[in-house]
Amino acid sequence: MKKIVTFILIVFCVVGVQAQDPNFSQFYNNPVYYNPGMISLNSGYSVKLHARNLWAPVPGRFNTFAASFEGQIIPKLAMAVNAYTDVAGEALLRTTGGYLTYAYRPIETKNFMLQVGVNGGIINKYIDWSKLRFSDNYHEIQGEVGTTAFIAPSYRSTTYADFGSGISIRFNHEARKYSGYRKLMATFGFSALHLTQPKEGLMTGGKLPIKLVASFNTAILVNETIISPAIIYENQNRFQTATIGFSVIQRPIIVGAWIRNEGIFRRANKFDSFVLNFGVNFPTKKNQVVKVMYSIDFTISQLRSASFGSHELSLVYDWNDRFMSQKHRMKRSRQRTYQCPKDFMGI
């Protein structure tokens, strides 16, 4: 009975709970999740699938799945649809959302582009009270008896609209004289998500804080090797997260190392996790690229003895240089101004 009383007091007395969105270690493979202005930057179609398992030894499930499709409709105009679902805890608190995103390039040259984007979506949160177990669910001899004095609340779910916007800048550079370094492609991005701060609470209607995201990633071709350093900074309410590191691509092999920290300028004891990633990236016929990546987070914070890290798997399939509009659909469009270097296809 003590557990039941404690649970009820927690549920009905908490005025506000602070939390943050799920994040992905492979943020560079899921740009539409972080920034509506970063869709279809490689000028084609792209299908991306992600699965993340967080803290496997902890009771309950902490899993996140995401999927997206993006592509250019006509020159300078792109569209994306993406969805995700997140399950947390023994009561299976599930968050499911779907978004529609549009992006436009007001500035575009052969080696430079600026793109802005907006998105809108519908989010549903659902909790399964029947999954909770209390002390009176169990008998000292018979084991679980399946009955409890706890009466589940009538509210199980809430649904709300969500909106965000973002901007990205990308430019290319090519060496005039060969000296090992050959090409560079750099991308800056900034986004503001949950702009309307929708009420997402099941009971009190707590507002979802605005999330600010800044990112920078590059691809540098040195001889036949691509070095791709990147950083992403996330700020939501009082939570700050910065992930910084790099990947090295010697097709078809990809390896990388990353550090996640509580903010950009924090002491070493504020590090949250160390991430390693492995994968393959190889072009196929007809200007297409397939990328499969696996990453593992080694928790180095105080949670390390209980969480044992996280696992993430992603699949990316790119069709480069395509338009969704039948009128503009062609294998190599002369109407396209910005040209993504072929050496960086699928990066």
Please give the angle made by the CA atoms of 221, 227 and 22, to the nearest 5 degrees. Answer: 135
pLDDT, tens digit (0-9, with 9 covering 90-100), for 228-275: 999 999 999 888 899 999 999 998 999 999 998 877 665 555 677 899
Q: With 90 as the cut, is the pLDDT of residue 58 above it? A: no
The whole-angstrom separation of Cα 95 and Cα 312 is: 18
Q: What is the CATH number of domain 2-12+27-344?
A: 2.40.160.40
Which two tokens mark 183? 């090409």
pLDDT given for residue 300 in this prediction: 77
Domain ranges of the chain: 2-12+27-344
Residue with the larger pLDDT of the pair 298 and 219: 219
The one-letter amino acid code at 270 reads K
pLDDT, tens digit (0-9, with 9 covering 90-100), for 190-235: 999 999 999 887 766 678 899 999 999 999 999 889 999 999 999 9
The whole-angstrom separation of Cα 58 and Cα 56 is: 6
Q: Rounded to whole angstroms, what are the CA distances from 104 to 13, 75, 79, 284, 328? A: 46, 9, 9, 29, 16
pLDDT given for residue 8 in this prediction: 41
Q: With 70 as the cut, is the pLDDT of residue 1 above it? A: no
pLDDT, tens digit (0-9, with 9 covering 90-100), for 27-45: 999 999 999 999 998 878 8
pLDDT given for residue 152 in this prediction: 65
Enumerate residues 6+ apart whose C-beta is below 8 A from 326.
none
Residue with the larger pLDDT of the pair 282 and 191: 191
What is the H or E stretch that residue 10 is in? helix 2-13
Cis peptide before 36 (omega within 30 of 0): no
What are 183's strand-pairing partners?
174, 221
Q: With 90 as the cut, is the pLDDT of residue 74 above it? A: no
* Strand 138-139 relative to strand 143-144, pairing: antiparallel
Q: With 80 as the cut, is the pLDDT of residue 68 above it? A: yes
pTM score: 0.84
Asked if residues 44 and 73 have their Cβ atoms less than 8 Å apart, the reply is no
Confidence of residue 12 (pLDDT cuts 50, 70, 90): very low
Residue with the larger pLDDT of the pair 91 and 21: 21
Residue appearing with tokens 């605005």:
210
Confidence of residue 97 (pLDDT cuts 50, 70, 90): very high
pLDDT given for residue 129 in this prediction: 74
The whole-angstrom separation of Cα 21 and Cα 66 is: 13
For 137, the 3-state DSSP assignment is helix
Average pLDDT, the chain: 82
**What backbone phi and psi angles, to 5 degrees, belong to 135?**
-60, -35
Asked if residues 289 and 299 have their Cβ atoms less than 8 Å apart, the reply is no
The whole-angstrom separation of Cα 243 and Cα 256 is: 13
